[in-house]
Amino acid sequence: MFDIIGQIAVFKKGQYSKKQAIDFILKNYSKSVKSIFFESSKTYSKFRLKKYMWVWGEKSTETIHKENKLFFKLDLNKVFFSPRLAYERLRVAQQVKKNENVLVLFAGVGPFPITISKYSKAKKIIAIELNNSAYKFFLENIKLNRCSNIEAIRADVKKILNSKKFCNWADRILMPHPYGDTKYLKLAIKCLKNEGIIHYYDFAKTKNWSQTVFNKIKKQLPKNCTLKVLYSKIVRDIGPNLLNVVFDLKIKKLK
């Protein structure tokens, strides 16, 4: 298993020898890949980072990734970015209706908000990210893709949600949670208008993943809200017997 992020090929540790990885890339991606790295650590820190070992080509971990005709500048050593979410980002963007207010939590270098900005007619997109490096790349990527309706905020998601600054503001909320920290739904609902959509991302073991995540959602749902699952699916495999999944939720607040 490997990913191509910009002009960098990233291989899981232990899957290929250095020679095998180099031979494979030179045979199949010689025109588009300029460097090869092996993952050399598990995910660490609240920013979902990994360490990488240089194998071949240019030694820089900074690159510009192209996806859905958009461009995302990033540094593998400083930010989290998964190219496997490209289809998911476009899927969500194409659901956004004209003049919606959209709140994006854990925005990273901006792939979700920027894709929404360019593939919908959203009125306003507020996107929150705590990692300073990701936030700086996010601001660059807003300019790079010429987006005019995004406000990027560097802050802790929990503090923003607790501040009531965006109370009853959003028509739609995206929650691409970091692994192991998926308890923000109740707070996020406060930012939703009386009726709206939440794209809720979570993690679960392969067996009974749908029921497991749905039970977590129900436990976080305030008593004055009704819930309808519009859609659910596996977004990607992230490890042995571990999945990243999404639930599209229609939430209605009762008076």
Provide the domain limits for residue 48. 2-60
Please choose, from the candidates 244, 164, 169, the residue with its C-alpha nearest in 3D space to the C-alpha of residue 206.
244
> Is there a domain that residue 147 lies in?
yes
pLDDT of residue 139: 98
Would you write out the chain's pLDDT as a tens digit for each of its 255 residues? 799 999 999 998 888 999 999 999 999 999 999 999 999 998 888 888 999 999 999 999 999 999 999 999 999 999 999 999 999 999 999 999 999 999 999 999 999 999 999 999 999 999 999 999 999 999 999 999 999 999 999 999 999 999 989 999 999 999 998 877 788 999 999 999 999 999 999 999 999 999 999 999 999 999 999 999 999 999 999 888 999 999 999 999 997
> Is there a domain that residue 74 lies in?
no
pLDDT of residue 44: 87
Q: For residues 121 and 212, state if they share a domain.
A: yes
Read off the pTM.
0.96
Indicate the SS3 state at residue 204: strand
> Would you say 233 and 240 are in contact if contact means Cβ atoms under 8 Å apart?
no
Q: For residues 92 and 47, state if they share a domain.
A: no
Question: What are the structure tokens assigned to 183, written together?
Answer: 């308890």
> Is there a domain that residue 223 lies in?
yes
Q: How many domains does the chain have?
A: 2
How deeply is 103 buried, as exposed, middle or buried, from its count of CB atoms within 10 A (0-12, 13-18, 19+)? buried
Looking at residue 129, its amino acid is: E
> Is there a domain that residue 148 lies in?
yes
Taking residue 49's Cβ as centre, other Cβ atoms within 10 Å add up to: 17
Q: For residues 43 and 94, state if they share a domain.
A: no
Q: For residues 161 and 204, state if they share a domain.
A: yes
Q: For residues 147 and 241, state if they share a domain.
A: yes
Query: Of 21, 45, 60, which marks where a domain is finished?
Result: 60
> Is there a domain that residue 78 lies in?
no
> Would you say 113 and 136 are in contact if contact means Cβ atoms under 8 Å apart?
no
Q: For residues 213 and 135, state if they share a domain.
A: yes
> Is there a domain that residue 75 lies in?
no
Q: For residues 28 and 107, state if they share a domain.
A: no
Q: For residues 55 and 88, state if they share a domain.
A: no
Q: For residues 90 and 26, state if they share a domain.
A: no
Q: For residues 47 and 148, state if they share a domain.
A: no
Cα–Cα distance between 204 and 210 in angstroms, integer?
Answer: 8
Q: For residues 197 and 241, state if they share a domain.
A: yes
> Is there a domain that residue 239 lies in?
yes
Query: Of 28, 60, 92, which marks where a domain is finished?
Result: 60
Strands ordered across the beta sheet of 150-154: 150-154, 124-129, 101-104, 170-176, 192-205, 242-253, 225-239
Q: For residues 55 and 115, state if they share a domain.
A: no
The sign one gets for the Cα dihedral 216, 218, 221, 223 is: negative
Reported in sequence order, the residue ranges of 58-191 that DSSP labels E, i.e. its strands, are 62-67, 70-75, 101-104, 124-129, 150-154, 170-176
- CATH number of the CATH domain containing 89: 3.40.50.150
